[in-house]
Structure 1
Amino acid sequence: MTKERVVRSGKMYLYLKRYWGLYLLLLLPITYFIVFKYIPMTYIQIAFKKYNIMQSVWEMENAKQGGFEYFIKAFANRDFFYAVRNTLLLNFLDLLCGFPAPIILALLLNELAFKKFKRLTQTVVYMPHFLSWIIISGIALQLFAPTDGLVNNIITAAGGQPVHFLDDPAHWVVMYVILGIWQSVGWNTIIYLAAITGVNPELYEAASIDGANRLTRIWHITLPSIKPTIIVLLIMNLGRILGSEFDRPYALGNNLVTSVDNVIATFVYTNGIRGSQFSLTTAVGLFQSVICVIFLLVSNSLAEKFGEQGVW
């Protein structure tokens, strides 16, 4: 062993001796990820095999057509293409309307002069994050039901016609996006407010001396300072463009809007859990994950290409 290796080994020993407690704390999250994230990944093989509940995943017979039988079946399924279309549409609208909302709210809250009112407002707007979509769907039904909903009662009392907010596909998409923003905007605002607190106050003082008004300070100081945070969150959101949560469309959906509320998550539930087509839905889930990873890598590369800091 050379002298250089001995010195390096000694430094490594001293480092581990000093910070062994931190590495010990890492054992719990590492164990969690190995047990609950990596070991279950072995069951991805189900997408390429004929599922049999009586056999282990290693004993199952390989699927036909080189193992891609269920991928071919998924792409030949009309409902699957509708699910992909609806997933992309709803996630794109969420990104277009929902992503700027917490940024705008954080900028507005940061400009409030009364700290108590600022704290109260922040608490009120992030409380919906703790409500489940089952509760939110119940509230939405009470407010927007076509016959006895509060909003439609007000509309009819004013001489208008009832609006089918949750029964018409076009109106349902609008309500889906609005309720999503209402539920998540306050929680996401916390991230941007934390980023804004890191801005050097001297920059604002210097800008005020130079005659900059509030809008000018926001545009030229606040937004550029939190741009790295915005870029990282945008990349992460783009990585989930084909991902779909289950509880939100399932809770808000009904038989009258199946043309727009059927997303990949509900397709997997209908065909996998209720239809017992586990190989087919595993193939669909694997396809969805691969596409999300591709979107994540491409968006991260584009951010770095234009001189911005990516996720890694």
Structure 2
Amino acid sequence: MKNRKNFSAVAVPKKHRKWSRDDTELSLLGLPTFIWFAIFSFLPMFGLIIAFKDYKLTPGRGFLYSLINSDWVGFSNFNFFLKSNTFGMLLRNTLLYNIVFILLGIIIPVTFAVMINQLHNKFISKAYQTMMFFPHFMSWVVVSYFVFAFLNPDKGLANAIIKAFGGERILWYSQPQYWPFILIIMQVWKTMGYSMVVYLASITGIDGSLYEAAMLDGANKWQQVKYITLPSIKSVVIMMFILNVGRIFYSDFGLFYQVTQGVPNSLTNVASTFDTYIYMALQSNVSIGKTAAASLFQSIACCVTVLAANFIVSKIDEESAII
């Protein structure tokens, strides 16, 4: 008995799984996606070194030669952006607008999704969904023309209404105090339908027997929403929240530039964001290295915020985290 080997204690190495036909088919299926990401997402990241160089185009040479032979300047491009007089204003506008957009982008679409889900008439429900979803497909350029027609100082509909009630016309594009509300309303109007459809799809996937059981227990509509609907879509709401936080240092360029008709000087303090700053810098004599540094700062900041948001969510509710 003493010489008997204890085979149960011996670790038997696991056999490596052989490459199968399914692996080949799935790899070939995913190959186009891998190639697409490699060419359009990872390969262009080589250009990030522009943010650390004083890029100058060499006459008679191409972009790659000029990039490699440009002088390294380290973090001086970042210092130019971070220490500029407008950085604080740009940071304030970008963050505050996005915080408001994130909060309203959850509260309003979820509310409308719950309300539309309560409709029994399918035709009316689809009609409401279509009307709310339609602005999502409209370009900000088109929307800006409608806004200008409404806010035109001379013949705009807004001033016509104000004059009809005995008021004086307002020079909308010279009055910055109105534009935070205008920009927020336009953003919510354009994006509300898409988010609402996402939440409505989650609500329609809830097991109907839960509502039937709640009705048998005497629960009213509000109690059904509070104890069944909202907890059931919690994971989707948190996922959308984390994804939106991941773009908190970015702004919708069309909203802030097109709708304001190019961010005139009178609206600079309330409508300028990082994206409009980078665009206007490209139109001026600012070197491309400094604008690249600003864009890289945005990307790094957004990466940090989305990881931080996911970390906080994982500590509160691990199952709702997306990473």
Secondary structure of the residue that 2:249 maps to in structure 1? coil
The aligned residue for residue 247 of structure 1 is 254
**1:185 equivalent in alignment to 2:196:** no
Do the aligned partners of 1:97 and 1:177 also contact (CA within 8 Å) in 2? Answer: no
Q: What letter corresponds to residue 32 of structure 1 in structure 2?
A: W
User: Which deviates more, 129-138 or 236-245?
Assistant: 236-245
User: Which deviates more, 137-146 or 103-112?
Assistant: 137-146
Shift of 1:166: 4.5
User: Which deviates more, 49-58 or 232-241?
Assistant: 49-58
Q: Deviations for 1:10-64, whole angstroms, at most 9, x for unmatched residues?
A: 3xx23xx03533322211121111111111111111111111222443322111x
Shift of 1:117: 0.3
**Root-mean-square deviation (Å):** 1.8
Long gaps (5+) in structure 1: none
Do the aligned partners of 1:165 and 1:175 also contact (CA within 8 Å) in 2? Answer: no
Identity %: 33
The aligned residue for residue 4 of structure 2 is none
**1:38 equivalent in alignment to 2:45:** no
Alpha-carbon distance in structure 2 between the residues aligned to 1:164 and 1:112: 42
Alpha-carbon distance in structure 2 between the residues aligned to 1:68 and 1:260: 29
Larger radius of gyration: 2
After TM superposition, the structure 1 = structure 2 runs for residues 4-23 of structure 1, keeping only pairs within 5 Å, are 7-10=15-18, 13-14=19-20, 17-18=21-22, 20-23=24-27
Q: What letter corresponds to residue 287 of structure 1 in structure 2?
A: F
Q: Deviations for 1:59-117, whole angstroms, at most 9, x for unmatched residues?
A: 22111xxx111111112211233222221122122123233211111111111111100
Alpha-carbon distance in structure 1 between the residues aligned to 2:171 and 2:136: 26
Shift of 1:167: 3.5
**1:206 equivalent in alignment to 2:213:** yes
Q: What letter corresponds to residue 21 of structure 1 in structure 2?
A: E
The aligned residue for residue 179 of structure 2 is 172
User: Which deviates more, 80-89 or 297-306?
Assistant: 80-89
Alpha-carbon distance in structure 2 between the residues aligned to 1:56 and 1:214: 66
The aligned residue for residue 311 of structure 1 is 322
After TM superposition, the structure 1 = structure 2 runs for residues 62-101 of structure 1, keeping only pairs within 5 Å, are 62-63=72-73, 67-101=74-108
The aligned residue for residue 306 of structure 2 is 296
> TM-score, normalized by length of structure 2?
0.88
Do the aligned partners of 1:268 and 1:284 also contact (CA within 8 Å) in 2? Answer: yes
Alpha-carbon distance in structure 1 between the residues aligned to 2:51 and 2:165: 56
After TM superposition, the structure 1 = structure 2 runs for residues 135-284 of structure 1, keeping only pairs within 5 Å, are 135-253=142-260, 254-255=263-264, 256-284=266-294
Do the aligned partners of 1:143 and 1:149 also contact (CA within 8 Å) in 2? Answer: yes
Alpha-carbon distance in structure 2 between the residues aligned to 1:19 and 1:118: 44
What is the aligned counterpart of 2:33 among 18, 29, 36? 29
Q: What letter corresponds to residue 286 of structure 1 in structure 2?
A: L
